Amino acid sequence: MPSKVITTVFLAFVLTACASESGNEISPTVPLVSAMEQLGQVRQSVKAPDAKGQVVVIKDRHSTRPGFHRVRRQLRQVQKDNRHLIQYLVRRGFRILGCEQTLGEILPNATTESQYKLIAGRMKHGIDLDEYSVFQPIRFQLLWGANLSVWGVEDPALFAKDISDFRAFAKARQNVRRNDLTEADRAGLRSVLVASQQKLRLNIKARGEKAAENLLSIMQEQGVSHGILLVGGAHVPAALRVLEQTGYDIYVFASSRYAPEKNTAAPEDD
């Protein structure tokens, strides 16, 4: 059976398992800026003369702890506000969502199938996934897949390097708390923490630029004029510098509970 058919069948299966999530829905007739202000803040906006479309950039925050777990209160609200805004945008005709995954459309495959099944199973049982550490873009595809395509927009090499550096950071952060370490071992782990953070900071600008460039390319290839970019706040300034030169109206949204970000790629913990 062709892979495209398998993907379609699998999506049909998981979509039937997903209950529709509602509550605090914003009518698509509400003006864009007003809708954003109901959920948070419009941090920046750029209006283009004779704009050829709109791009909404959403400052994302997510858990960095492994496994399925309940996230802290602030992240729950950020995830809820982001979901409500994306639901509103889909109803307004936004058809492409770009997110922090390696470049390509996100669909069920050998790598992602377990995530699809986990998220669909939790949704089927009515679990509020605003409160949990699941990959939210897959959840959005399951909710609105008939009207929304979800794409990774990360440069593959940059993204792979940051994943590797983050794993080194996470392992050192976990081990440095152990009570059975010598002072020399602890000092070595602290050096790894510092070095990993420095490496992560080096890619902030490049990843933001590539994410914006790739989103625009996907929009053009798919023939759509309205897109969403969901990325960590540290990447937004670089993405915005790319987007504001392209003839689109640009809006940058941050949840009501999104804390002011520092210019750092230090992973967030909950």
What are the tens digits of pLDDT across the range 255-269?
A: 989 875 454 444 444
pTM (2 d.p.): 0.85
Q: Which of 100, 104, 96 lies closest to 233, judged by CA?
A: 100
Dihedral angle sign, alpha carbons of residues 255, 256, 257, 262: positive
CA angle 68, 261, 119 (to 5 degrees): 20
The residues spanned by each domain of the chain are 3-156+206-255
pLDDT of residue 141: 93
pLDDT at 140 > cutoff 80: yes
Instruction: Kindly report, residue by residue over 73-112, the tens digit of the pLDDT.
Output: 999 999 999 999 999 999 999 999 999 999 999 999 888 8
Pairing of strands 96-102, 149-154: parallel
Quote the CA–CA distance of 139 and 120 in Å, as a whole number.
Answer: 8
pLDDT of residue 21: 54
Mean pLDDT over 115-130 rounds to 91
pLDDT of residue 260: 56
| Contact criterion met (CB below 8 Å) for 252 and 237 | no
> Taking the CB of residue 233, how many other CB atoms lie within 10 A of it?
22
pLDDT band at 5 (very low <50, low <70, confident <90, very high): very low
pLDDT of residue 59: 97
pLDDT of residue 52: 94
pLDDT at 14 > cutoff 90: no
